[in-house]
Structure 1
């Protein structure tokens, strides 16, 4: 599972989150302030950081800015606070935080946010690995330019798509939009691509994307992927 760093000055919050995440099979490191967070981030290279906003030495938003400006924001960060304003949450998202959890944090919201952040990070690594394997740099594009799903997944190369892909699968989407909205569109297109390519087989798609079947089902439902369409395609091809 994942290596998760929890940064919060409240002992009770650290212990609670550690217990929940350990029960889910994750390894958890704990920091009570920004100084400890810096040291653990460099030592353990976490897959995900849960970062409190209000801390006595350096607040979470400032630490987030520091990581972003020094090129250390290479892991997803979920911000946490019981007193933050909407403006603070928006600022943290703009800097690079993936999501925001309001205290008191419920079990369901915590696990959902962690699952989504780890899935997005895995998707980003997959796309990067495909691009590196093909040794084809992604061409620079002007702001607002469209990128096809296949170009995004193949590092700019366009190959012959599977015969069972329709025009709706060869979609493109605008890059000039909020990051969260663009991520959701890309993830939906990514899973639809693999479902079509694998003939609607959830087992093969789970293997291809590196997700457990239960996680995959929840992800597809969350993104609004139409599984019945892929099943109809399989029947039509038999």
Structure 2
């Protein structure tokens, strides 16, 4: 897992990104302005930086340029903004930014950007792979159609969404139907969430993504159903 520095002047965004990244096992340091970001970079030597563009004292592009000129841009930097232009994105790329995330940031795009920045996935998933030789094992490359040109696509080349995984027989379970609808529904939902917790190793981030629920709603739902949140991790460990 990596040390990640999140730089954003909005407390809610810092808290949200920190919660998601911590849940994925990363160590997260937070900064609300450029001054704190400089100090945190010197103190923690992050493996990756998530850097907001619009900040009250020094904007993210200026800070990125400062790190580049001083030779401190030795880690991948993912820029973030909800109001940046394509020109700003291109400028940040020329300075040395790895990629760009448009706000509001979805969980899936955040995790993909972090994985790509850390070298866990290719930074540009739409780049065609070399032709495979006859008889070469592997899955055929899927061609991704060009997306609408946005600031994010201008820097990343778009996002490729992984195909859904087919569930095996272990996903099926019999339920007693001779009971009130509310009880039967709760029984099904509890088994449903327990299955996904086990499948995702107890990661609330992944479960929220797979089930389509916001994390806060998911937490409340699991508590209401009496789901053991440690069950997934114990199942995989054992």
TM-score range, shorter chain: 0.5 to 0.7
Map 1:96-135 to 2 at 5 A. 96-119=96-119
Q: Secondary structure at the match of 2:118?
A: helix
Q: Which residue pairs with 1:15 in the alignment?
A: 15
Matches within 5 A, 1:57-206: 57-119=57-119
Structure 1 gaps of 5+ residues are: 124-179, 193-198, 202-221, 223-238
1:92-148 deviations in Å (ceiling 9; x for gaps)? 11110011101000001101111111017x99xxxxxxxxxxxxxxxxxxxxxxxxx
C-alpha deviation, 1:8, in angstroms:
0.2
Structure 1 stretches of at least 4 aligned residues deviating more than 2 Å after TM superposition:
none
Separation of aligned partners in 2, 1:200 and 1:49:
37
- Aligned partner of 1:42 in structure 2 is 42
CA–CA separation in structure 1 for the residues paired with 2:13 and 2:93 = 22
Q: Select the structure that is richer in helix.
A: 1
Q: Counterpart of 1:119 in 2: which secondary structure?
A: coil
Give the secondary-structure state (helix, strand or coil) at the position aligned to 1:46. Answer: coil
1:113, 1:94 → 2: CA distance?
18
* Larger relative contact order (Cα-Cα within 8 Å, sequence gap ≥ 6): 2
Partners of 1:71 and 1:104 in 2: CA distance? 31
Superposition RMSD on alpha carbons, in Å? Answer: 3.2
Q: TM-score, normalised by structure 2?
A: 0.53
Give the whole-Å Cα distance in 2 for the aligned partners of 1:94 and 1:111: 23
**TM-score where L is the length of structure 1:** 0.53
